[in-house]
Amino acid sequence: MPITANPSLTRWIIALGPLAAIVVAWATQSVSDDISVANVALLLALVCVGAALVRPGAGLLTSAVAALALNYFHTRPTHSLRMSESDEITTVVLLVVHGLAVSIGATLRARSKVGTHRTNTSDAAGHDLRTLLAEGSSLVAAWQTAVVADTGHAASLDVMFVSEAGTEHVVIGGRGGTERDVVLVPEAGAILELPGGLGALLVRPQPGLGAIETSRGHLLRFADQVAAALTA
């Protein structure tokens, strides 16, 4: 579970996709007599695909902005969000549907590939752990290998330290032992409070993976380990 800083690059990716869609729609306005609305929509669809491949959320936002830009610059009446031609309405709707489909497909594909990779990594670590224990090893090496073998999808989570828990994120509780072990970490992240009043950890899925189910016990043990390391 890598400890990372706030990914400012993600904000740039989210902003550049919609901006590129607006630029393409504006730039092709001057040659609208030579190319049809459908051809412009195809160019915008390529922009949406590029954004979705970088990050699915950026693809969704780019698709919405591209549809509005196509409507504003290319459908009659121009420079208005009103549409009067049924075929132009169909083109705009298809552009939005295309962007949604590509973004959802990219999300599912990314989640599948990451899940397979994490499973393979966990299986390999389990084999390494059995070898280390059979042959004898330092406790630290065996401990680290056991963590990799046991954490599963927690490896798809990023975590950063925050001085105090905010109200905009859900809090992962359960130290009383009454909650079920599986917890859903939303895309926006969740708060994992450190014992001893040491602060809190913001845990969130890596970009493009959506909400992730993981073990509550894993997260609570990780918080305990971090607290122990901070007070050592």
Query: What is 123-144 written as a DSSP string?
Result: HHHHHHHHHHHHH---HHHHHH
Q: Is 174 left (phi over 0), alpha (psi -120 to 50) or beta?
A: left
Residue 1 · residue 154 · CB < 8 Å: yes
- Residue 2, CA distances (Å) to 96, 100, 204 in order: 35, 30, 11
Bridge partners for 201 per DSSP: 161, 192
Question: In the prediction, which pLDDT does 8 show?
Answer: 57
Tally of domains in the chain? 2
- Of the candidates 146, 42, 59, the one whose C-alpha atom is nearest the C-alpha of residue 101 is 59
pLDDT on residue 150: 74
| Whether 39 and 96 share a structural domain | yes
What's the confidence (pLDDT) of residue 11? 67
Check whether residue 98 and residue 142 sit in a common domain.
no
- Residues 144 and 67 occupy one common structural domain: no
Query: Is 12 in the same domain as 102?
Result: yes
Selection from 51, 54, 56 nearest residue 21 by Cα:
51
Instruction: State pTM to two decimals.
Output: 0.54
User: Which residue range forms the structural domain that includes residue 173?
Assistant: 137-231
Closest to 17 (Cα-Cα) out of 42, 72, 70, 54: 54
The answer to whether residues 78 and 166 belong to one domain is: no
pLDDT reported for residue 196: 82
Same domain? 219 vs 141 = yes
Q: Tally the C-alpha atoms within 13 A of residue 207's C-alpha that lie toward its C-beta.
A: 19
Residue 122 domain-assigned (yes or no): no
Residues 106 and 22 in one domain: yes
In a domain, 119, yes or no: no
- 110, 126, 153 - which closes a domain: 110
| Helical pair 86-135 and 56-74, crossing angle rounded to 10 deg | 170
- Which pLDDT does position 178 carry in this prediction? 56
What residue type is 116 in one-letter code?
A: T
pLDDT below 50 — which residues of the chain? 1-6
**Residue 128: inside a domain:** no
Q: Quick one: 151 and 225 in the same domain?
A: yes
pLDDT at 179: 59
| Chain mean pLDDT for the chain | 81
**Quick one: 91 and 28 in the same domain?**
yes
Q: What is the pLDDT of residue 152?
A: 67
Residues 76, 25 within the same domain: yes
Q: Are residues 227 and 145 in the same domain?
A: yes
User: According to the model, what pLDDT value does residue 3 have?
Assistant: 42
Of 62, 91, 110, the last residue of a domain is 110
The reply to whether 14 and 105 lie within a common domain is yes
